[in-house]
Structure 1
Amino acid sequence: MRMFFTILICKILRFLGGLLGRGSSLPGEIALKLDPNILRKLKLPKYVIAVTGSNGKTSTVEMISQILRKNGLKVAYNKEGSNQIEGVTTFLLSDSTLGGRIKSDIVLIESDERFARHTFKHFIPTHYVITNLYRDQLTRNGHPEWVYDIIGQSVHDGSQLILNADDPLVSCFGFGRENVIYFGVDRFAGSTDQNTSVYNDGKYCPRCKAPMEYEYYHYNHIGKYNCPNCGLHRCDTRFSVTDVNLSDGYIVLDGKYRVTLALKSIYNVYNILAAYSVARLVGIDGEKIAQDISSYVLKNGRVITFTLGGHEGTLLTSKHENSISYDQSLRVARAYPGDTTVMIVVDRISRKYFTSETSWLWDIDFELLEHDNIKKIVLAGAYASDLAERFSYTGIDPAIITVNKSVSGALEDLKQNTVGYLYAITCFSDKDKIIAGIQVEKPEEE
């Protein structure tokens, strides 16, 4: 009766929250108070797939769901993005019968990297994807190796680990384990022999701290590495991107399956590869996966096409306090083949806590915007002066840079003064301030 009552209350609260446009966490929070062991009591399906890491969780989970649903499977996942234990509890109980049986064929979980340990002490995923570990939200997460230790507490025997082989810290999760699958990207035209980012987090081995050697880099510390001291190296991959052509907008998976890219970013390539790896392990044909994911436009609002004063543009949602996320957005703007205007907005550091800490701006490779196609740069928001100070240390011509602490004012100016295509780059906390001033193009419903 306790389980019945707890699930019923959660369902009611979730329904009421849905009417108000809220309620992804609170129903689960109350359910856990009513029965702290409710997650242990659920009858889960054959596949319970979890995804965690610094970046790419939401996009990867959405693409996995897209593939699985296209192949006739019913999927339960936290599509609202509420990825701590309360949000996970909400969507699981919402999908269960009053007797505690999950109704969907597959459970798919996006899990916050710091809180996965709390969720997976109640049940163990059958498949556990770890995407990457980067410098991310210093005030919350500290050093990536600290996050590695925290995620390690969520890894249990019985889960098949699906790891990014190109990230040396992530690959360490597979050390000493047998049930591990690796995915990675082969060398391509955009790979480099030397690290080209502002900093080098791959300089030393995460396992023994000796100097690391790289055969090539894809970006930052992601690439093919080897530690001569302890032997840590990029493991052989079961699933691979064997060809990348960002200019023409396609990749080839496992030498066979061509996928057209809706977003021409190496970041997006890794998300697609992780989703492909999971789908293959579940038993879906590679050609079918490629068809289902080709030209797929994410529905999670991380990439939005729009118009502003007759100018076409794309809003790229990067993570504040995460330099690699910003670097990838800057690379997309840099790669545009025509004249380009770039707007960067930092109006608020975080939605969750107050901080004016902006040292992370100095980790971002804004030097990428020193390129022939970049004709105008607009720095906007409350921290526009912090951005301007950082840009003063680049080689970018100050004449093309405009500073405006008003986001709405910057958008008004751009209605008349955008040069070419417009890329607006900001975080979740500031995205709505941009959306309020643009005309968003709605993605086609399936």
Structure 2
Amino acid sequence: MISKIIIRISKALFKGGSNFPGRIALKLDRNVLKTLCKNYKVIVITGTNGKTTTTSMIYNMLKDDGKNVITNSTGANMLPGIVSCFVENFSFKQCSKTNYAVIECDEANLTLLTNYVIPEVISITNLFRDQLDRYGEVYTTLNKILDGIKKVPLANLVLNGDEPLLGDMELQNRTIYYGFNCGLRKSKTVDINADSKFCKKCKHPYKYNFITYSHLGDFYCDNCGYKRPKLDYSLDEIKSKSQDGSLVAINREEYYINQPGAYNIYNALCAYSIAKVCNVPDSVIHNSLENQESSFGRQEVIDVAGKQVKIILVKNPAGYDEAINSISLDGRVFNLAVLLNDNYADGRDVSWIWDVNFEKLSSLNIDKILISGIRLYDMAVRLKVAGLKEDNFVMCKGYKKLTDEITNCAENRVYVLATYTSMIGFRKYLNAKGYIKKLW
């Protein structure tokens, strides 16, 4: 009850407070999650990229199927934020219906969550280098996740079969794999900066029947025989794709994904697989994917003084490259804003921007290039080296300058590529100015 009151106060005074009420609840009772989760079938989404969008997709599918479902939609995916979500939705009344909780969980916090909860499903989207100062390399991230899974052998695992680190994990859990049955690249050689290039069994370089992006694809090791696991659910064909979405065939049935880019096809395939585990009908999945709305800085479109501003969260080389590939589908002239911060939640080390293929932007029809964030000068140097026209650069110290420049753009469409805290800060500014009605 105390934490529920704190949530109301936080939302009223600070327009947020998604972690603080959970911290209070944990101080009062460190085992509070055992009580809060007792009447829920919990579905946990973890991994490097795609957690928030995949969580939103699954939430909508279950909701569209008439199920009682809650989620931590703000992306507060540490243990206190997860506790806050359950506190906010807690009721002293008993409900006879089956309740679901679709929870996005930070990779390092999964082991904390499974101290108290036995999830119905745990899904891992992918593993990329991200916040190296916090997580280290991808093998360290995997071990953090495995520490959590080993505590709950009864949980169903829904895993990305195209991720080499997730095959043959020797766990007791029932394991379901999803992946692509078609490639997205002509080359069968991974990029020099790709992650997980070497066999997890014998350290020999992987070979591929095809690659989707980065190190994901139909991999195999011709030295020891380790290869991609058999897929339970597959993306069989990409029939068309644009800057608005993709028409695909999943398990030989046609679906339209109302989100652009290869990474959103993966997100949809993951959500589809979990929905099948939860016995959601195909018709509901179809309608839900077709009507999926962007969430909280993930391809979110905002009207700023008549300009169509699309905010895309970027936080590591693999995700950034796919964001660039996504906006490359837009053949029109557009404006680009690039925001780079180095706060704790972003990762202090920004050297990863040199692994991003910014060179691809030099061939696009970009008018103004707005550069902002704490590390705007680092980003400006990177874009100059990538071959973008320095005369088009506009340095924006602060969100007011950035917003003013956006409103003065000649072209109607503006893509905003922003790291996490810069995305949060920019959205807060737009909310204060009335461009966004709902902050969280």
Q: Any conservation in 1 of the 2:204–2:223 contact (CA below 8 Å)?
A: yes
Q: Which residue of 2 aligns with 1:170?
A: 166
- 3-state SS of paired residue (1:154): helix
Greater mean alpha carbon deviation, residues 407-416 or residues 85-94: 407-416
Greater mean alpha carbon deviation, residues 68-77 or residues 297-306: 297-306
Are residue 134 (structure 1) and residue 128 (structure 2) matched?
yes
Query: Which residue, out of 7, 12, 17, partners 1:14?
Result: 7
Q: Which residue of 2 aligns with 1:182?
A: 177
Cα distance in 1 for partners of 2:72, 2:306 equals 36
Unaligned runs of 5+ in 1: 1-7
Q: Pick closer, same or farther for the CA change 1:176–1:352 going to 2, 3 Å.
A: closer
The one-letter amino acid paired with 1:249 is: S
- 3-state SS of paired residue (2:107): coil
The Cα offsets for residues 351-399 of structure 1, whole Å up to 9 and x where unpaired, read as 64884x3211111111221324344433333422211222233244545
What's the offset of the Cα at 1:405? 4.2
Cα distance in 1 for partners of 2:347, 2:388 equals 31
Unaligned runs of 5+ in 2: none
Q: Any conservation in 1 of the 2:155–2:173 contact (CA below 8 Å)?
A: no
The Cα offsets for residues 297-335 of structure 1, whole Å up to 9 and x where unpaired, read as 12333222234564433121222xx12222222112211
Are residue 431 (structure 1) and residue 423 (structure 2) matched?
yes
Q: Any conservation in 2 of the 1:51–1:109 contact (CA below 8 Å)?
A: yes
Q: What pairs with 1:86-97 in structure 2 (closer than 5 Å)?
A: 86-97=80-91
The one-letter amino acid paired with 2:232 is: R
The Cα offsets for residues 235-288 of structure 1, whole Å up to 9 and x where unpaired, read as 1211122222223732222111322x3321111111111111111111111122
What's the offset of the Cα at 1:111? 1.0
What's the offset of the Cα at 1:199? 0.9
Q: Which residue of 2 aligns with 1:3?
A: none
Cα distance in 1 for partners of 2:96, 2:6 equals 18
Q: Which residue of 1 aligns with 2:100?
A: 106
The one-letter amino acid paired with 1:66 is: N
Q: Any conservation in 1 of the 2:44–2:105 contact (CA below 8 Å)?
A: yes
Residues matched between the structures, number: 429
Are residue 286 (structure 1) and residue 279 (structure 2) matched?
no
Cα distance in 1 for partners of 2:434, 2:365 equals 24
Q: Which residue of 1 aligns with 2:342?
A: 349
TM-score, length-scaled by structure 2: 0.87
Cα distance in 2 for partners of 1:96, 1:103 equals 15
Cα distance in 2 for partners of 1:45, 1:171 equals 32
Q: Which residue of 1 aligns with 2:271?
A: 275
Percentage identity across paired residues of the two chains: 27
Q: Pick closer, same or farther for the CA change 1:341–1:11 going to 2, 3 Å.
A: closer
Q: Which residue of 1 aligns with 2:328?
A: 334
Greater mean alpha carbon deviation, residues 247-256 or residues 98-107: 98-107
The Cα offsets for residues 105-144 of structure 1, whole Å up to 9 and x where unpaired, read as 1122211100110110122212110111111111111111
Query: Which residue, out of 339, 344, 360, partners 2:352?
Result: 360
Q: How much is the aligned-residue C-alpha RMSD, in angstroms? A: 2.9
Are residue 38 (structure 1) and residue 32 (structure 2) matched?
yes
Q: What pairs with 1:158-237 in structure 2 (closer than 5 Å)?
A: 158-172=154-168, 174-175=169-170, 177=172, 179-188=174-183, 190-195=184-189, 197=191, 199-237=193-231
What's the offset of the Cα at 1:180? 0.4
Q: Pick closer, same or farther for the CA change 1:392–1:313 going to 2, 3 Å.
A: same
Q: Which residue of 1 aligns with 2:251?
A: 254
Cα distance in 2 for partners of 1:390, 1:273 equals 34
Q: Pick closer, same or farther for the CA change 1:178–1:14 going to 2, 3 Å.
A: closer
Q: Pick closer, same or farther for the CA change 1:221–1:28 going to 2, 3 Å.
A: same
Q: Any conservation in 2 of the 1:380–1:404 contact (CA below 8 Å)?
A: yes
Q: Any conservation in 1 of the 2:190–2:197 contact (CA below 8 Å)?
A: no
Q: Any conservation in 2 of the 1:45–1:102 contact (CA below 8 Å)?
A: no
Q: Pick closer, same or farther for the CA change 1:104–1:110 going to 2, 3 Å.
A: farther
Q: Any conservation in 1 of the 2:188–2:207 contact (CA below 8 Å)?
A: no
Cα distance in 2 for partners of 1:14, 1:104 equals 25
